[in-house]
Chains A and B, each alone.
Chain A
Amino acid sequence: MNQTIDTTTAGGSDPRPAGRAASEPRRWRLADYPSLLTVPAILLLIAAMAYPLLTIVLRSFSEPEWSLQNYVWFFSTPVNLTVLARTFSISAWVTIVCVIAAYPYAYLMTTVGPRMRLVLIMCVLVPFWVSGVVRTLAWVILLQDSGVINSTLKAIGFSSIRLIRTQTGVVIGMAQVLLPFMILPLYSVMRGIDLRLVQAARSLGARPALAFLQVYLPLSLPGVFAGAIIVFILSLGFYITPALLGGPRSTMLSTLVQSQVLSLLNWGRGGTMGVVLLVSTFVLLAVAAPLMRQRHKQASRS
């Protein structure tokens, strides 16, 4: 900014017209208002999230008339409560299966060489690019009573097991679809863990298993929590996989919402279910939050 006006030379031989800075309005620059860059995203969120959400909340109270009728109905109908509890329990199982499957996989990704790591990342991402519907249909083929798993079991002399239209089948299918959401955050946290910390623990007298439990595991927990939250929340709202792999005994809340809104055109009750799911998710996150708060900053790799 070289536009300070030197009063001693004003009107003198200075070629600059005096008062230029004052007379010429400062050019408007986007760089001065970086927050404006978020406008498109905010507009999209308002249009696609805030407005519909507000509508649903309002209709849950206003249809057919202004009262708490829909909430009274929801909590006084046992099947709703059963399905709500089942939605949370299936989501919890999916999360547990994902943690168990993803942890060693993500760990392996941090220890192998660059080429092998690329292969492992592709193994995670390629199914990710295939539509969830297609993957779920693949699971139908594998899990059905005459499917690959059961015919193999029969061929080697075991009795067949029911997988399709059971909660087990739903958990298997959902876990596979959601696995990348667990592996990727875990990997990004694990990649930042200095493996010399484990060496240090061993030099101080810790057995390898103990060094892992007391040093590596606590440092990887932020990744576990991040992945678990994503997987759990996505599971709560899953529709296609439970609808195709599940049966009447594994209905999740999204299926009930669908039947209320699309089959019975009862927007009030459908909206109520959505609000209940949303609020209970928030409550759960609020309860879990203190567990996840890190008291230390992650040591940066120098």
Chain B
Amino acid sequence: MSTSKTRERGAAIDIRDATKRYGKFTALDNVSLHIEPGEFMTLLGPSGSGKTTTLNVVAGFTDLTAGDLSVGGESIVGVPAHKRNIGVVFQHYALFPHMTVGKNVAYPLTLRGVEKGERERRVKAALDMVKMADFAHRYPSELSGGQQQRVALARAIVFDPPLLLMDEPLGALDKKLREWLQLEIKRIHRELGTTFVYVTHDQEEALVLSDRIAVFNQGRIEQIGTGRQLYDEPATLFVGKFIGESTTLRGKAETSGDETGLTIAGQKIVAKEKLAGGETPVILLRPEKLSLAAAKAPITNGQNSLAGQVSEAIYLGSGSKYQVVLRDGSIAVVRSSLEAKPFTIGDEVDLRWSVEDSKLLADDDRADMTLT
């Protein structure tokens, strides 16, 4: 199977200036999102951020207050859900309890008037794809959660929709099963070439699965990009904190040339960036860019240093993770490799990192909302 050929089976999605209001509450605020044919796009965000609303709008379960939505180049605003030909996988499986697995998967084909022989062939192919062919005569209540979700996936792809929507499909499953099914979903996406839109609040899951991720917060998209872009170059403080682990530093700021300096508890640190005027700068640091040194150890050129005390030391096998309380009371998270000198709780240390690794962002109180 050549990639370009299978990708033709997926449909492009265009969401333009989509707004959805429930009374005074704005669930979606002017959201625009373009998804390429065959792309795996994840809508990531905390609960109530608008990601599920977006999915429901595309599925046809919810109408937009304003804006436009097109799939495969044609506007589907006002088209009822049953005429959209979009596969949907729900968090709680939504298998029909009064039908066997085989009947569940055959249901969309029966509705489309596919004749019996062809129907049976396609049901078997879909169940084969999710490795559930031996269970066709069982009822959903006789299956485990993971098995039910695989059947739900088979049912959503059996009619070859150009677009598959998944609403936290692994949310109700335990971690091991979730990790295995993530790889299964990735494989199925590769084999089908269908456009996948996947909703989750789990940033690790988003990183594992997606070609690109759209990060939602309070009804808006904060940033769209690959996992690497979101992690290395977050556009907002919210994205920086939501994706992966991070340390944020705040202090008295001054700009000189292209550099921004921050004074924290009497110590000055530098970032090789500057913000547009009027915004309060915050420095965001990734744990693997940080290192610990014994207090007052000599500093190499181009490094920042902040004094602190180790408050937690966790051995992870592949390395160690430390929490360091800085002089201003903020907490830094550090990951160090096995070769690095180990520290224990209570050690006075200097937190070190390269000036280039200081990511300067505008402070934003919306980034501090509790994450689910």
A contact set with B: CB distance below 8 Å: 194, 196-197, 199-208, 210-211, 214-215, 218-219, 294-299, 302
Contact = CB atoms under 8 A, between A and B. Distances in A.
Given A199-B94, A200-B94, 4 more contacts: A197-B97, A199-B81, A200-B96, A295-B139
Contacts of B86: 203
Contacts of B107: 201, 204, 206, 214
Interface string B288-305: 000000000000000000
A2 to B, nearest CB: 38
Given A199-B61, A201-B107, A194 B94 contact: yes
A295 B82 CA distance: 28
Interface of B: 59-61, 80-88, 90, 92, 94-99, 107-108, 111-112, 139-141, 155-156, 159, 172
Contacts of A211: 82
Contacts of A218: 98
B129 to A, nearest CB: 17
Contacts of A205: 82-83, 85, 108, 111-112, 159
A211 B159 CA distance: 17
Contacts of A203: 59-61, 81-82, 84, 86-88, 156
B98 A204 contact: no
Contacts of B81: 199, 202-203
Contacts of B99: 296
Given A201-B107, A205-B108, A295-B139, A302 B92 contact: yes
Given A203-B86, A205-B82, A299 B108 contact: no
Contacts of B82: 202-208, 211
Nearest to B94: A200
10 contacts: A199-B81, A200-B90, A202-B80, A202-B82, A204-B159, A205-B85, A205-B111, A219-B97, A296-B140, A296-B141
A208 to B, nearest CB: 7
Q: Is the interface of B mostly helix, strand, loop or mixed?
A: loop
Contacts of A196: 90, 92, 94
Nearest to A203: B88
Nearest to A217: B98
Nearest to A200: B94
B166 to A, nearest CB: 12
Contact of B97 (A204, A206, A297, A302): A297
B92 A204 contact: no
A296 B98 contact: yes
A214 B103 CA distance: 12
B133 to A, nearest CB: 20
Nearest to B92: A302
A197 B107 CA distance: 13
B111 A297 contact: no
A294 B99 CA distance: 11
Contacts of B172: 302
Which residue, A202, A203, A299, has most C-beta atoms of chain B within 10 A?
A203
Nearest to A301: B92
A302 to B, nearest CB: 6
A254 B245 CA distance: 78
A201 B59 contact: no
A202 B107 CA distance: 11
Contact of B139 (A199, A206, A296): A296
A210 B108 CA distance: 12
Nearest to B158: A204
Contacts of A297: 97, 139, 141
A299 B93 CA distance: 11
Contacts of A219: 97-98
Contacts of A296: 97-99, 139-141
User: Which 8 residue pairs of A and B lie closest in terms of their CB atoms, listed nearest first?
Assistant: A299-B97, A200-B94, A204-B108, A203-B88, A297-B141, A205-B111, A202-B81, A296-B139
Contacts of B84: 203
Contact of A204 (B139, B141, B155): B155
Contacts of B140: 296, 299
Contacts of A208: 80, 82
Contacts of B159: 204-205
Contacts of B141: 296-299
Nearest to B86: A203
A252 B92 CA distance: 50
A201 B86 CA distance: 12
A204 B94 CA distance: 12
A224 to B, nearest CB: 14
A302 B86 CA distance: 25
Nearest to A302: B92
Max chain B Cβ within 10 angstroms of own Cβ: one of A204, A218, A294, A296: A204
A264 B259 CA distance: 112
A61 to B, nearest CB: 46
A197 B85 contact: no
Contacts of B87: 203
Contacts of A214: 107
Nearest to B107: A204
Contacts of A215: 96
A214 B97 CA distance: 12
Contacts of B59: 199, 203
Nearest to A215: B96
